[in-house]
Chains A and B, each alone.
Chain A
Amino acid sequence: MSTEHHPHPHLPFWRRYIFSTDHKMIGIQYALTGMVFLLVGFGLIMAMRLQLAYPKSTFPFLEALFGSVNVPQGIMAPEFYNQLGAMHGTIMIFLGVVPLMVGGFGNFVLPLQIGAPDMAFPRINMASYWVYFVGGVIMLVSFFVPGGAANSGWTSYAPLSVIATAGQTLWLFGMVALITSSLLGALNFITTVIQLRARGLTFFRLPFFVWAQFVTAFLLLLAFPPLEAAGVLQLMDRLAHTSFFMPSGLVVSGEMQEQFTGGGNPLLWQHLFWFLAHPEVYVLILPAMGIVAEVIAANTRKPLWGYNWLVGSVIFVGFMSFIVWAHHMYLTGMGTTLSTFFQATTMIISVPSVVILTALVLSLWGASIRYNVPMLFALAFLPMFAIGGLTGLPLGLTASDIHLHDTYYVIGHFHYVVAPGTLFALFAGVYYWFPKATGRTMNPLLGKLHFWPSFVLMNGIFMPMLFQGLGGANRRYFDPTMYEHTLAVQGWSVVISWSAWLLAVAQIPFIINLLVSLWAGRKVSDNPWQATTLEWAAPSPPPHGNFAAVPTVYCGPYEYSVPGRVSDFCMQHVAQEA
């Protein structure tokens, strides 16, 4: 116990902070790297928003920033716009949100919440981070090869991606690295939850966050390999001129693609891609729900409403997420029979999602809520995710999808899920577990200065996109004024762009808060929120090995305000007299 409050002090600096095998340090590495990538991805979209709000205008500073190849005479080249779009999606999803959610929060919180000394495989855990890091570097480097980064959208649809510039090859290699990383993480998480739970911690005493991470790990484990297979096939198409995704007689820009023998199927890529990418949506949202559930339970001082329903729903969502993928493909000509099947499964999967949301909303009923910063973000998550989820229904129905497919409505829909949804849950998690990671709290005033503008501006960005999409504005267009029918909704683009740029300004209080609180934050006890789950039983910050003694669990995860008890919360490792 002499080493308390210092993660393995006997190790040299580089083993302690860089090549660490401690799940908490790896979690923090993941979280910080993920946040940097979120900023990079956000930066790309801010440049794109300039083009979308003011097409045909010149911006000399963009030329200074990105070079005259990408922005000749201050006007963004369409090819560069495509690179920004493809890499915004790739970076935000695979390098930003998932690493933060799973690699960051999962790594840091999950072993603590199950009372484990570390992950089951600490060295595989370290490898997972560094493979992810390499994948990120490959993605960033791809901007500097001839022709620039991947420019076929984050979905990399064949056949255009097969004949795209060299950046696409790097994109594929980068993805293979990221897939490997998440595979290593996923099998580690599952093994840890199954093997390393503390004594007494049965599956139905697990905090909901652990359940969410557990299901997410299965999605990562089983859904990512098909994309790896697809990546291998696309690499073969690009490098060995096979024709897995190349149909016969393909002509692109008036040129016959004679290097390919043809006979392949471009739809095959879409099937393999979405077989990953739809479960991926749930990878983005389930851990967010987990964080929100933890924050809501602690700050309503009540047990979560319908814990068993929540757990059942999250498992059901996990299963169903494997058989809804082709609802992204209604308009590809795959056939109405398949569309009907996927329409049915898509409607079914919305039921458990609504159950989870309803249970979280009902948890607020009759509570005396503590409106601290994490709770504000968690509360904001609920309506934002609700908008995101409900706007998805018209896309899941084949008839209405004909009108809405590939418009800004789709962009608005999934950004409502991922940006004010998942990102707000992330912020809630950062404010909530910061005291555990550092022993200090973040400043509540700066936190509120972060929350309120972000809340307003997020809606300023994504609500108008729904309007634009309903008005028929197509996504991925370089020049939104190209077609007359979208001119009527073009005015909203200016609102969206300014909201996005101001949203960047609104993140400044957060960054200041995060950095300054490391040294100047108010010191707090081990359990500042008076929460019940096991991570609060460890010292802050937890030492290597986490707990002074192996905890034994005596009760469920959310024993708040139990009638007849002196204190309004009962920690899981504290035995109560009968």
Chain B
Amino acid sequence: MSEEIPYTVQPHPLTGVFNGKMGMWLFLASEVMLFGALFSSYVLLRMGATHWPSHEETHLNVPLATLNTIVLILSSVTMVMAWASLKMNQLERFRLYLGGTILLALVFLVVKYFEYSAKFSHDIFPGTSTFFAIYFTLTGLHGLHVLGGILVNSYLVLPGSRMWKTEPERFTNRIECAGLYWHFVDLVWIFLFPVLYLL
């Protein structure tokens, strides 16, 4: 009886990817549609607005957001290094790099927390204006994605890494998929930053 599902670990000879990677790319495709719809809504609302606040009016903190952009890009680099370490058979270095990714993601959220509370302390909430409705919704949803990444990566760095002993290749694949997701979360921010802070 053929109970084993093929290509869970080895890549399919024709498509060149294992199942999980294909699933992750498809998931990211749907995420592109999710954020694409939100960005489209932004364009439509901005085009229809009688007045759109300039960044002098919104008082968004561009230096902090620039810092956050750098933090996220760095976390993507450590993510790749984590995967590369596994490819080179170095579990301890992998732990270090993935731990770094998690730490940088936490830094991102802490910075975001300070940005949010600065707004709240000036009585600025999502309901204040259409701009802030978009600002809080998009960054909030992106923040949830960051949080999701932190949870998954934390699982992979500690209890999930037991798989390294039994199925090292499968575990490396998992890190690769988690990395794909993490780069996507990074990429969304690369779009959010100019759209909300600079334009």
Q: Could you list which residues of chain A lie within 8 angstroms of chain B, going by C-beta atoms?
A: 1, 3, 116-118, 120-122, 124, 183, 186-188, 190-191, 194-196, 221-226, 228-230, 232-233, 236, 240-244, 259-261, 263-265, 268, 271-272, 275, 543-550
Residues from 27 to 55 in B contacting A, C-beta threshold 8 Å: 27, 29-31, 33-38, 41, 44-45, 48-50
Which residues of chain B have C-beta atoms less than 8 A from A268's C-beta?
41, 44-45
Q: How near does chain A come to B15, taking the closest CB pair, in angstroms?
A: 6
Contact A240 B126 (CB under 8 A): yes
Contact A188 B23 (CB under 8 A): yes
A263 to B45, CA, bound (A): 8
Q: How near does chain B come to A197, taking the closest CB pair, in angstroms?
A: 10
Instruction: Identify which of B5, B34, B133 contacts A229 (C-beta below 8 A).
Output: B34
Contact A265 B44 (CB under 8 A): yes
Which residues of chain B have C-beta atoms less than 8 A from A546's C-beta?
2
On whether A191 and B1 interact (CB within 8 A), knowing A261-B128, A263-B129, the answer reads no
Contact A3 B1 (CB under 8 A): yes
Which residues of chain B have C-beta atoms less than 8 A from A232's C-beta?
38, 137, 141
Which residue of chain A has the shortest Cβ distance to B130 in the bound complex?
A: A263
On whether A187 and B44 interact (CB within 8 A), knowing A222-B29, A240-B126, the answer reads no
Contact A242 B133 (CB under 8 A): yes
Contact B5 A191 (CB under 8 A): no
Which residues of chain B have C-beta atoms less than 8 A from A229's C-beta?
34-35, 37-38, 41
Which residue of chain A has the shortest Cβ distance to B132 in the bound complex?
A: A242
Contact A265 B26 (CB under 8 A): no
Contact B5 A118 (CB under 8 A): yes
The answer to the question of B159 belonging to the interface, with a C-beta cut-off of 8 Å to chain A, is no
Q: Could you list which residues of chain B lie within 8 angstroms of chain A, going by C-beta atoms?
A: 1-8, 12, 15, 19-20, 22-23, 26-27, 29-31, 33-38, 41, 44-45, 48-50, 125-130, 133, 136-137, 141
Which residue of chain A has the shortest Cβ distance to B17 in the bound complex?
A: A195
Contact A195 B127 (CB under 8 A): no
From A242, A260, A265, name the one whose CB has the most chain B CB atoms within 10 angstroms: A242
Which residue of chain B has the shortest Cβ distance to A239 in the bound complex?
A: B126
Contact A225 B31 (CB under 8 A): yes
A230 to B137, CA, bound (A): 11
Contact B127 A272 (CB under 8 A): no
A549 to B2, CA, bound (A): 6
Contact B34 A226 (CB under 8 A): yes
A221 to B20, CA, bound (A): 16
Q: How near does chain B come to A25, taking the closest CB pair, in angstroms?
A: 14
A405 to B29, CA, bound (A): 34
Q: How near does chain B come to A120, taking the closest CB pair, in angstroms?
A: 4
Contact A120 B126 (CB under 8 A): no
From A122, A191, A194, name the one whose CB has the most chain B CB atoms within 10 angstroms: A191
Which residues of chain A have C-beta atoms less than 8 A from B133's C-beta?
236, 240, 242-244
Which 4 A/B pairs are nearest by Cβ-Cβ distance?
A242-B133, A226-B37, A229-B37, A225-B34
A222 to B33, CA, bound (A): 6
Contact B49 A263 (CB under 8 A): yes
Which residues of chain A have C-beta atoms less than 8 A from B50's C-beta?
263
From B2, B12, B35, name the one whose CB has the most chain A CB atoms within 10 angstroms: B2
Which residues of chain B have C-beta atoms less than 8 A from A116's C-beta?
5
Additional A-B contacts beyond A191-B22, A196-B7 (9; CB < 8 A) = A120-B22, A121-B20, A194-B15, A195-B12, A196-B6, A224-B30, A261-B130, A264-B45, A264-B130
Instruction: Identify which of A195, A233, A547, A548 contacts B19 (C-beta below 8 A).
Output: A195
Which residues of chain A have C-beta atoms less than 8 A from B6's C-beta?
117, 195-196
Which residues of chain B have C-beta atoms less than 8 A from A548's C-beta?
1
Which residues of chain B have C-beta atoms less than 8 A from A224's C-beta?
30
A268 to B46, CA, bound (A): 12
Contact A544 B1 (CB under 8 A): yes
Which residues of chain A have C-beta atoms less than 8 A from B15's C-beta?
194-195
Q: How near does chain A come to B174, taking the closest CB pair, in angstroms?
A: 13
Instruction: Identify which of A187, A196, A223 contacts B26 (C-beta below 8 A).
Output: A187
Contact B37 A117 (CB under 8 A): no
Instruction: Identify which of A1, A122, A240 contacts B125 (C-beta below 8 A).
Output: A240
On whether A261 and B23 interact (CB within 8 A), knowing A117-B5, A229-B34, the answer reads no
Which residues of chain A have C-beta atoms less than 8 A from B127's C-beta?
240-243, 259-261
A194 to B16, CA, bound (A): 11
Contact A117 B45 (CB under 8 A): no
A32 to B101, CA, bound (A): 44
Which residue of chain A has the shortest Cβ distance to B126 in the bound complex?
A: A240
Contact A272 B41 (CB under 8 A): yes
Instruction: Identify which of B19, B48, B128 contacts A121 (C-beta below 8 A).
Output: B19
Which residues of chain A have C-beta atoms less than 8 A from B125's C-beta?
240
A52 to B6, CA, bound (A): 55
A543 to B2, CA, bound (A): 10
Contact A230 B37 (CB under 8 A): yes
Contact A117 B30 (CB under 8 A): no
Contact B23 A120 (CB under 8 A): yes
Which residues of chain A have C-beta atoms less than 8 A from B29's C-beta?
221-222
Which residues of chain B have C-beta atoms less than 8 A from A124's C-beta?
23
Which residues of chain B have C-beta atoms less than 8 A from A544's C-beta?
1, 3
Which residues of chain A have C-beta atoms less than 8 A from B137's C-beta?
232-233, 236, 242, 244
Contact B34 A228 (CB under 8 A): yes
Contact A545 B1 (CB under 8 A): yes
Q: How near does chain A come to B49, taking the closest CB pair, in angstroms?
A: 6
Contact A194 B22 (CB under 8 A): yes
Which residues of chain A have C-beta atoms less than 8 A from B41's C-beta?
229, 233, 244, 268, 272
Which residue of chain B has the shortest Cβ distance to A183 in the bound complex?
A: B30
Contact A221 B12 (CB under 8 A): no
Which residues of chain A have C-beta atoms less than 8 A from B129's C-beta?
261, 263
Which residue of chain B has the shortest Cβ distance to A115 in the bound complex?
A: B2
Which residue of chain A has the shortest Cβ distance to B20 in the bound complex?
A: A121
From B1, B15, B19, B22, name the one whose CB has the most chain A CB atoms within 10 angstroms: B1
A241 to B125, CA, bound (A): 9
Q: How near does chain B come to A240, taking the closest CB pair, in angstroms?
A: 4
A259 to B126, CA, bound (A): 12
From B5, B27, B38, name the one whose CB has the most chain A CB atoms within 10 angstroms: B5
Which residues of chain B have C-beta atoms less than 8 A from A261's C-beta?
127-130
Contact A543 B1 (CB under 8 A): yes
Q: How near does chain A come to B171, taking the closest CB pair, in angstroms?
A: 17
Which residue of chain A has the shortest Cβ distance to B7 in the bound complex?
A: A195
Q: How near does chain A come to B149, taking the closest CB pair, in angstroms?
A: 17
Q: How near does chain B come to A267, taking the closest CB pair, in angstroms?
A: 8
Which residues of chain B have C-beta atoms less than 8 A from A264's C-beta?
45, 130
Q: How near does chain A come to B195, taking the closest CB pair, in angstroms?
A: 15
Which residues of chain A have C-beta atoms less than 8 A from B27's C-beta?
183, 187
A121 to B21, CA, bound (A): 12
Q: How near does chain B come to A16, taking the closest CB pair, in angstroms?
A: 15
Which residues of chain B have C-beta atoms less than 8 A from A120's C-beta?
5, 7-8, 19, 22-23
Contact B130 A243 (CB under 8 A): yes
